[in-house]
Amino acid sequence: MRVSALRLVPALLLLPVPALAAEGGFINLDKSLIVQLLNFLLLLFVLWWLLYRPLVSKLEERTHSIKHSLEEADAARAEARRQQEEYRARLEAAHVEAQAIREAALRDAAEEQQRILEAARQEAARIVESGRAEIAQDVRRAKDELRREAGDLAIEVAERLIKKSLRDEDHRRVVREAIAKLERIG
């Protein structure tokens, strides 16, 4: 039956040292064993000092670096979320401001339209009033002219009547002609 080497090690450690030496066993207890043990311990210390400590230091440094990178990534992620919320808030504020500007522009446009319409109405009223005044003035002039014409006609009739001695018939004929002339003018 084969016994594994790992099972022999604890068994060998339990055997008394003289028994191992008496059997011509594996370990000789002499000065070389102590020197080998010191060399082994010295080698273990040197390996620990030169390899294990720097390796552990590098691993700790790497762990610290990874933790630091993760913390920076978390901070960057949080900053990105904060900026995204800030941009979202700014965008929403810009939309609200744009809506307010649009409403103000529409309100201003409506007010301007009302002002223009009112100005157009006033201008139309002024033009109508001016036209009425001009027509009234033309009517006055026409009446004055008609009066002058009638006066002139009356004077002419009177002159004719005076120039001729008129009989009743002539007188009536002159008056009829004058009336007919007035009707043509009027």
DSSP assignment letter at 51:
I
pLDDT tens by residue, the chain, 186 residues: 444 444 544 444 444 444 444 455 666 678 888 888 999 999 999 988 888 888 888 999 999 999 999 999 999 999 999 999 999 999 999 999 999 999 999 999 999 999 999 999 999 999 999 999 999 898 888 888 887 877 777 777 777 766 666 567 777 887 888 888 877 776
Q: What per-residue confidence (pLDDT) applies to 166?
A: 56
Token digits of residue 102? 């649009």
Exposure string of 109-125, with b = 16+ CB inside 10 Å and e = fewer, is: eeeeeeeeeeeeeeeee
The pLDDT, as a whole number, for residue 6 is: 41
Q: What is the model's pLDDT at position 83?
A: 94
Distances (CA, A) of 144 to 82, 93, 139, 152, 157: 91, 75, 8, 12, 19
Report the alpha-carbon distance of residue 119 to residue 117 in Å, rounded: 5
Stated pTM of the model: 0.37
Q: Enumerate the H helices of 48-186 as residue ranges.
A: 53-163, 168-185
At residue 61, the pLDDT reads 92
Collapsed DSSP state (helix, strand, coil) of residue 2: coil
16-53 pLDDT, tens digit each: 444 444 455 666 678 888 888 999 999 999 988 888 88
Give CA–CA dist 101/107, Å, rounded: 10
Instruction: Output the pLDDT for position 85.
Output: 94
